[in-house]
């Protein structure tokens, strides 16, 4: 008889647990799911009450054979995939196989990978939770029914290779709807009046600024320049006097510990991580990292959670650490407790360090850069959440000038409270959460800044300057990846385990693209969304999708039978499928009117879908074969791109034009198909490599990513994803600099080896958009 067998998902987790158990157990990894519905068919028999037809996944037969062999020699088998629905399903599938050779099969949950947590979990095994398995099964079948039934219709009506998803299609709709909000938005002019005020002798050096808040007791609304100039003319003649002063303490409470969505949002905002990258790094921290003499240790608790609850052990350790490190003033009398959202499952704790005693500075040398930065973020948030509030001394000053009231607000940090955690053990390149901006004022309280301490009610002031600034109302901002995650969470769409995958999938499927850190729908995303809204309104309805998530939770809680949910869904969905096959418009055959005319024959242009993306094609085809690339303007209207002509065709003498294809831009003859001349598109920018005489070529990878390489390849292997600029390096003289764009800013940099010159720039409009 062998040792008891523990089966986990990943080899990294297996290595960590094996170290803890010191040879008492065999620990093996399943490498994720071992069974799934077949790829080539629906795999769900709707006539037999949605009976699933699970098959062993490609490459997993060898793993299952090995697990069965190990289980046959083990006195007991403990199934320990991740502690969530997916993990429960994996455990159920492995249990089906190993029970053939071993009757002693039980489930254990590792919420954190530490020596104590692992041993404690092994002391409390349980059976596989059938309710969790049924909940996951219902989700899997729903996703398969939607994806495998709608996708073939889209292949026939729009373009081959498309896919629809129960949650991904809703996420795309959010992006499409937001884009149309922006396009339909009509800016409204308004003016902001700011007064620079001086004090009378002997305090004339202690001035301050205030902003117009009210006129005649009502909220100020200055619509245009004429109204602003008229009002300013009257106010310049008015008496300016302090009418009211309010001095108060403003407390800023500690934030809750991280859950999956808030971790993804802060990692995006502070570390520039995508949601998918955040989860990949967090997975490594959870599964275990080699800390030298201490060996492999799981540094954080399970990272897929929607609960802000912390264990009593974690609270005690954190509060003891705070008293010793910061002092009693930073520790509240009772532990800070936070309320979960109503939809939270509360199956796991919040995301926290497995021990706050492992300070970021102590473990940083064992981690790669991204692991260290994310661990530092999680550690600081877990410490901060159990600290006292930050306290600000706030002064609000109201100034009367005739019928107008101006307001200024002064705010000074008096006690750091939880903000101290963000400066403690802070990495040099990580921004401080919560401490990088001043204490925010209430709505309409005016600018926040230092105010003279001795201002008095009734004090007369002198007007130094009065200025008006024209502004316009702005549309809602496009979603960043993190903002889309927040929107999905707030609407109850998806779950912690799915957010990152959703955001990645809609970009991989090319329904959405990321431009300067913000998500925009592609033409394909618009068209598919419109068709789904018309023919499958429930599938892309926000509330319907949220209710479906609630139903899946009810299955897990034992309040709903999964077959009841599937039957109800299918009864409506089946009729919609039949109708869509008959009635859905064939975009592939009819194309979409673009609202512009052909520049060659004058006939209407149509938006068409090809294997290389969307383009404008003349409705007079085949008599007129004119095609154009296009963009949409700020109002969503189609506008043909200007055709760049790099000269005449050497074969027939007609104009050449720059076109875009599957692997990037190229130069082709406008006489195609009569003339098939074609060559690679070479940019005017020179290769930055010293001694190279080549020019840069724009290319596209097989996954659709744009990059730039030297046209002298393979002699010169220079390649970059940064866009070239027609500007020389002021430091080394390289002929081309490159632009690296990211959310909120841009960096111009030199890529010549051993140079390192760079210049930070602020992207146009980024500051305003980021502030919103």
> What is the set of active-site residues?
302
107's enclosing H/E stretch is strand 105-107
Q: Which residue has 């884009």 as its token pair? A: 179
Residue 180 · residue 480 · CB < 8 Å: no
State how far the alpha carbon of 470 is from the alpha carbons of 214, 444, 447, in Å.
18, 17, 17
Rounded-to-integer distance, Cα 707 and Cα 629, Å: 19
576's enclosing H/E stretch is helix 562-583
Residue 266 · residue 377 · CB < 8 Å: yes
Q: Which residue has 């109708």 as its token pair? A: 579
Residue 247 · residue 455 · CB < 8 Å: no
DSSP string, 262-327: HHHHHHHHHH---HHHHHHHHHHHHH-EE-GGG-EE--BB-S--------HHHHHHHHHHHHHHT-
Residue 338 · residue 256 · CB < 8 Å: yes
Rounded-to-integer distance, Cα 440 and Cα 454, Å: 22
Q: Which residue(s) pair with 448 in the sheet?
A: 409
Residue 12 · residue 290 · CB < 8 Å: no
Q: Which residue(s) pair with 297 in the sheet?
A: 289
Positive or negative, the Cα torsion across 636, 638, 639, 640? positive
User: In the structure encoding, which two tokens stand for residue 234, read together?
Assistant: 């009257």
Contacts of 187 (CB under 8 A, 6+ apart): 472, 473, 474, 475
Q: Which residue has 């596209």 as its token pair? A: 700
Positive or negative, the Cα torsion across 696, 699, 701, 702? negative
Q: How many CB atoms lie within 10 A of CB 332?
A: 17
Buried b (16+ CB within 10 A) or exposed e, 249-263: ebebebbbbbbbbbb
What 3-state class would DSSP assign to 378?
helix
587's enclosing H/E stretch is helix 587-590
With CA atoms as reference, report the closest residue to 494 among 143, 257, 162. Answer: 143
With CA atoms as reference, report the closest residue to 562 among 203, 155, 135, 153. Answer: 135
Rounded-to-integer distance, Cα 197 and Cα 210, Å: 8
Residue 144 · residue 43 · CB < 8 Å: yes
DSSP string, 690-711: TT---EEEEEE-TTS-EEEEET
User: In the structure encoding, which two tokens stand for residue 716, read together?
Assistant: 């010169």
Say what angle helices 130-157 and 85-98 make with each other, to 10 degrees.
Answer: 110
């Amino acid at each position: 008889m062998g040792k008891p067998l523990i089966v986990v998902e990943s080899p990294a987790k297996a290595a960590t647990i094996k170290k803890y158990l010191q040879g008492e157990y065999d620990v093996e990894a399943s490498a994720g799911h071992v069974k799934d519905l077949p790829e080539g068919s629906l795999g769900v028999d709707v006539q037999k009450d949605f009976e699933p037809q699970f098959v062993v996944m490609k490459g997993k037969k060898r793993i299952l054979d090995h697990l069965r062999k190990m289980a046959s020699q083990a006195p007991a088998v403990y199934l320990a995939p991740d502690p969530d629905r997916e993990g429960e399903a994996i455990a159920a599938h492995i249990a089906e196989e190993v029970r053939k050779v071993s009757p002693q099969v039980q489930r254990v949950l590792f919420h954190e990978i530490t020596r104590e947590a692992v041993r404690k979990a092994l002391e409390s095994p349980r059976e596989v939770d059938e309710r969790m398995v049924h909940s996951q099964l219902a989700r899997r079948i729903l996703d398969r029914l939607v994806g495998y039934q709608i996708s073939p219709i889209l292949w026939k009506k729009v373009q081959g290779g498309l896919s629809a998803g129960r949650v991904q299609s809703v996420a795309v709709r959010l992006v499409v709807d937001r884009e149309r909000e922006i396009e339909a938005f009509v800016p409204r002019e308004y003016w902001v009046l700011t007064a620079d005020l001086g004090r009378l002798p002997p305090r004339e050096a202690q001035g301050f600024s205030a902003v117009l808040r009210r006129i005649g007791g009502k909220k100020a609304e200055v619509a245009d320049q004429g109204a602003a100039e008229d009002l300013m003319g009257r106010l310049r003649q008015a008496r300016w006097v302090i009418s009211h002063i309010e001095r108060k303490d403003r407390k800023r409470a500690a934030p809750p510990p991280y859950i999956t969505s808030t971790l993804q949002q802060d990692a995006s905002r502070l570390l520039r991580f995508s949601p998918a990258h955040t989860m990949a790094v967090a997975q490594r921290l959870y599964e275990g990292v080699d800390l030298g003499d201490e060996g492999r240790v799981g540094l954080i608790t399970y990272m897929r959670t929607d609960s802000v609850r912390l264990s009593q052990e974690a609270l005690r350790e954190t509060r003891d650490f705070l008293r010793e490190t910061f002092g009693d003033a930073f520790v509240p009398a009772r532990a800070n407790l936070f309320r979960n959202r109503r939809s939270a499952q509360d199956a796991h704790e919040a995301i926290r360090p497995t021990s706050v005693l492992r300070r970021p500075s102590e473990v940083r040398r064992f981690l790669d850069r991204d692991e260290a930065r994310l661990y530092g973020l999680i550690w600081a948030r877990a410490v901060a959440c159990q600290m006292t509030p930050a306290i600000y001394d706030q002064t609000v000053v109201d100034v009367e000038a005739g019928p107008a009231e101006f307001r200024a607000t002064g705010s000074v940090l008096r006690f750091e409270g939880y903000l101290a955690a963000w400066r403690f053990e802070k990495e040099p390149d990580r921004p401080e959460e919560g401490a990088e901006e001043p204490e925010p004022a209430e709505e309409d309280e005016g600018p926040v800044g230092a105010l003279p301490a001795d201002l008095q009610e009734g004090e007369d002031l002198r007007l130094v300057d009065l200025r008006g600034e024209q502004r316009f109302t702005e549309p809602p901002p496009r979603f960043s990846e993190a903002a889309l995650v927040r929107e999905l969470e707030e609407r109850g769409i998806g779950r912690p385990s799915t957010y990152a995958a959703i955001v990645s999938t809609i970009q991989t499927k090319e329904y959405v693209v990321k431009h300067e850190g913000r998500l925009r729908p592609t033409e394909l995303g618009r068209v598919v969304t419109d068709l789904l809204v018309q023919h499958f309104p429930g599938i892309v309805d926000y509330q319907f999708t949220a209710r479906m998530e609630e139903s899946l939770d009810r299955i897990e809680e034992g309040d709903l039978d999964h077959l009841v949910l599937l039957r109800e869904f299918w009864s409506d969905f089946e009729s919609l499928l039949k109708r869509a096959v008959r009635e859905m418009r064939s975009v592939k055959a009819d194309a979409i009117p673009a609202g512009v005319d052909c520049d060659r024959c004058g006939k209407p242009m149509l938006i068409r879908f090809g294997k290389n993306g969307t383009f404008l094609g003349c409705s007079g085809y085949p008599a007129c074969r004119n095609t154009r690339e296009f963009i949409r303007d700020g109002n969503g209207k189609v506008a043909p791109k200007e055709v760049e002509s790099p000269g005449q065709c050497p074969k027939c003498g007609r104009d050449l034009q720059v076109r875009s294809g599957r692997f990037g831009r190229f130069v082709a003859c406008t006489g195609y198909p009569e003339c098939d001349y074609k060559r690679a598109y070479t940019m005017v920018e020179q290769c930055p490599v010293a001694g190279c005489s080549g020019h840069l070529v724009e290319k596209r990878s097989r996954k659709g990513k744009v990059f730039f390489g030297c046209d002298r390849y393979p002699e010169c292997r220079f390649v970059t994803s940064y866009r070239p600029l027609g500007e020389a390096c002021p430091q080394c003289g390289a002929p081309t600099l490159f632009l690296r764009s990211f959310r909120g800013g841009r960096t111009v940099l030199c890529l010549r080896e051993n140079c390192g010159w760079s210049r930070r720039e602020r992207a146009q409009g980024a500051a305003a958009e980021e502030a919103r």
